[in-house]
Structure 1
């Protein structure tokens, strides 16, 4: 429930039971049964409002007064789905100006930014209007308060994809990453934009890999950027191990003494991929099972001890992988 001091709820609020214009409605009490397990101590204002709300929902009364009632109910409990659904029914029945509703729900959202129902209401009104022109601005205002707000990002992705509003989005994401390079939501948005526009062509991959390596240089201990890099490499026909730009980047920092667990983890995965591909046909291959085991042990004992059991498991898995590959090679030679 929201704070009763909300601007949407008049501080001089008059109870509905004391309003002459509501005297024709018999309030409908909430039925909690004879012996409720955990009775909620509602305020008088809350109980009064929802007693009348239940009554008009039952009567299906679509009027100006019930529209006003839903605004009060929403201010008291903005997460109540029935309140918003009934409000939408009234808006349609009265043929109300939906632009006014858009302005109203925008104000509510900026006070209730992590409430699914208010964003859902906004989305439906936008769909009815077929006017997405204010949505990116609204989400930007919301994200300026919390750059990782899931509901704001969900709404933004919906409106961008539905109405093809991708222009300028990579620039917006870049600004967010300049503000906070660890913003996982911004990295996710970058992937979303690329995936739905150019796709992961080789040209795009080269650009995005350069971009990501630049961000990793700023902060090596940034799991979000490393994860984005992995996602890019999954689209690279060379895989993890054949992109020389990435392997050179990793080896340079490793030789300089960097032991970021994310760096070591990627090298371990490169080793695993090389083993699967029979060494990649490279006689100078440095991505061996022995190196992978060494790195797994370092991760387990020094650099990522919270996941020690995981790294010991990966070490064993890679060793088995190497043994299977050797057996296949020996069998092939014998035949």
Structure 2
């Protein structure tokens, strides 16, 4: 976006504007021996020469406010320009509603610019009015469902002003459009964690919802990660929920070898061993077998990690066998 509008024949450099003749522009100072000299257009240098002068003089005026808009057009990620613009807005008692409209336009042209989203947050805080934030972020997320800055702003507005009522519907639509949208799954967790709460009923509902999505795309890391997060709130744990265990075993029985399924079963084995609740499905022998499957075929890229996990289970296996042998010796 830098140097935009260069072809605008109506543009007049600040140094040629009569109303700015009272101000001495300050050129950029890169020092006597700059390592890298950045080439800027004449228009860019002109705008920022005058911005530096305004900043030095701490000038609070309408013309300075207009100058910051031109500076933002040249470089929308310049933190100092945005900060000074906020100082000007407060000093001049400017119309913040008009500023919201202006910022919305900047966001649409530069949707992944942290500085403009931060500016937007400050305006909403000053106004204490989040009315437009869900619509604005929703539009941004329709363009890019994984825009981190839009999600961050949306979550801030929701949590600050309690805007959770229709968010699950919004998230459902995103997941329906792309079941692998990790950002949407993260938002679902955010809503439950900060609004609905993890009652047993909610936990089981979310488990069933997630299992249905996994049925649709079995090799979907986002859904498996969400299931893990939900299970943390289930008092029965990974291997104590019969619905989850049955689901995983059915997938495995029907030849599903998603690395996320195998990793889930391995973690369930680990939990069962730690709790002393090993069974046919969850034990050290099976965990070792699944690790070998991941190492040799289903997740070769992380073979070093699975070798490490496998070694851990082999040590647990020796302990279990040692205990069994000890008990047998006693009985003999």
| TM-score bin (small chain) | over 0.9
Unaligned segments of structure 1, at least 5 residues: none
Match of 1:303 among 282, 298, 303: 298
Contact 1:275–1:325 (CA under 8 A) maintained in structure 2 = no
SS class of match (1:113): coil
Query: 1:313, CA displacement in angstroms?
Result: 1.1
- Structure 1 match to 2:186: 188
1:304-326 deviation per Cα after TM superposition (whole angstroms, max 9, x unaligned): 11011111111111121233345
Match of 1:286 among 281, 286, 290: 281
Aligned counterparts of 1:306 and 1:278: Cα–Cα separation in 2: 32
Contact 1:278–1:325 (CA under 8 A) maintained in structure 2 = no
- Structure 1 match to 2:246: 248
1:4 paired with 2:12, answer no
TM, length-normalised to structure 1: 0.94
Contact 1:16–1:22 (CA under 8 A) maintained in structure 2 = yes
Unaligned segments of structure 2, at least 5 residues: none
SS class of match (2:176): helix
Match of 2:88 among 90, 105, 108: 90
Match of 2:107 among 98, 106, 109: 109
Match of 2:229 among 228, 231, 249: 231
1:211 paired with 2:209, answer yes
Moved over 6 A (4+): 329-333
Please give the residue correspondences for 1:261-276 in structure 2 after superposition, counting only pairs within 5 Å. 261-276=259-274
Contact 2:259–2:299 (CA under 8 A) maintained in structure 1 = yes
Aligned residues: 330
1:164-213 deviation per Cα after TM superposition (whole angstroms, max 9, x unaligned): 00010011000000000000000000000000112111100010000000
Match of 2:316 among 305, 321, 331: 321
Q: CA RMSD in A?
A: 1.8
Aligned counterparts of 2:124 and 2:326: Cα–Cα separation in 1: 65
Which has the higher mean CA deviation after the structures are superposed, 271-280 or 122-131?
271-280
